[in-house]
Amino acid sequence: MASLFGLARRNWLILNPPEAPKSATPLRFGVLGAADIAPQALILPARSHPDVIVQIVAARDPKKAKAYAQKHGIPEVAASYQDMLDNPNIDCVYIPLPNGLHFEWALRALKAGKHVLLEKPSVNNATEAEILFKSPLLSGPNPLVLLEAAHYVFHPAWTAFMSYVTPAEVASAKAVIWVPKWKFAADDIRYRYDLGGGALMDLGAYTASVLTHMFGALAEECEECVTQAAAYDSRCDRLFKARYRFPGGGLGEMEGDLKAPLDRLSPDIHVEHKPIVVSSADAGVKAIEGQEILRTRKIKFSTFVQPAYVHSIQVTDEFKVRKVGDSSGKYIKEWTNSKTIKAYSFREAGIDQPGESYWPTYRYQLEQFVNKVRGREVQQWVDAAESINTMKMIDMAYRTAKLPLRPTSEYKPAESGA
């Protein structure tokens, strides 16, 4: 009963976070686009952050922007995107625009001197990613901050999960993510090629990122990618199944569906390590001369995208005892140890780091983004190379599927900046 009460309380607080008293000089954020994701990704998390105020919103339709501001308690409405960027009182910009607009408006925001929290996927393709994340505006003595909002890597559950993953020893990994078929209309922006639509762009941004983390590297090749076209535009994939080969022979797979049946709801990660020789202490047994112990570790991370609501990390270690150097396949003894880990706060993960059990992934992400802007140490981050590699993975899949890469923006940053 206590666990059910804790679950209910945590989930209520995720959606109804306590209001934190604000600091004397908080960072003032602008939201570029009246997007559905912004309340979850920034507006609600900002309530419990003492150093953040969501000050202004801009949208193509001024009436929509005004209604959005009233609904979400945002004090100001900008006349246009550029008007918001030109506002000297705004420190940071959150960009949840359609994918095809990310590149231009991220660069424009950086040129205006704003720190940028950029929705995933960061841009439309790897070419744009290379230009954006290597912009001279991000270097120098006081560089601006640019972060792709791969929010799940900021949660304590991800840190706990990764503590059991050894990338150099991973043999195979699979990441799957599903969206129920009723979620998005047939003409949703996710199915518009000109706006950077496609399941690989929307869901593959998660799964491709996961695979690069599991192997600690970019894939060498996408060996196969099967897609199903969206009804609205055949250049946009509705679902995908991709297989990659990683350095050292590792096999990575990912699947996603924007119109999945209801029996496919949990976004999961499956990892299997290569068999390795471990110490008797690691195996929890007494050492015997002339024998060695092999361990094969398997991990399943359920609901990795939004672990704050509920999640589990199942770690299964298969042990086999053999004579030292015996590769015949004969074993003296075999057994399996399993355990389930959950971590809703860093305290639960045994880590000394701020956070509450009701903080969602986006709140943990905001904590680190603010730390970075303020010049403080960050414990979790998504660096430029990781964001570029995610787009390279997606581009590989599109090429293998014989679908066009999402179009490169016509916006041309100036040589000296954006």
Q: Is 274 a catalytic residue?
A: no
CA 341 to chain CA centroid, Å, is 20
Using the structure block, give the residue that is written with the tokens 């990994």. 173
- What is the chain's length? 418
The one catalytic residue in 64, 111, 120, 392 is 120
Handedness of CA 395, 397, 401, 406 (dihedral sign): negative
How distant is the alpha carbon of residue 20 from its chain centre?
26
**Rounded-to-integer distance, Cα 246 and Cα 252, Å:** 7
Residue 309 CA to chain centroid, in angstroms? 16
Taking the CA of residue 155 as centre, how many other CA atoms within 13 Å lie in the half-sphere pointing to its CB? Answer: 26
Cα end-to-end distance, the chain, whole Å:
56
Alpha carbon 155 to chain centroid distance? 10
Tokens 């270690």 -> residue: 317
* Percent of the chain that is helix, strand, coil (3-state, to 5): 35, 25, 40
Helix axes 204-215, 384-400, angle to 10 degrees: 110
* Residue 335 β-bridge partners: 319
User: What DSSP assignment string belongs to 111-174?
Assistant: HTT-EEEEPSS-SSSHHHHHHHHT-GGG-SSSPPPEEE--GGGGSHHHHHHHTT--GGGEEEEE
- Sign, CA torsion 319/320/323/329: negative
Instruction: Give the tokens for residue 157.
Output: 């559950």
Q: Mind spelling out the 3-state secondary structure of 316-351? A: EEEEEEEECCCCCCCCCEEEEEEEEECCCCCCCCCC
**Positions marked active-site:** 120
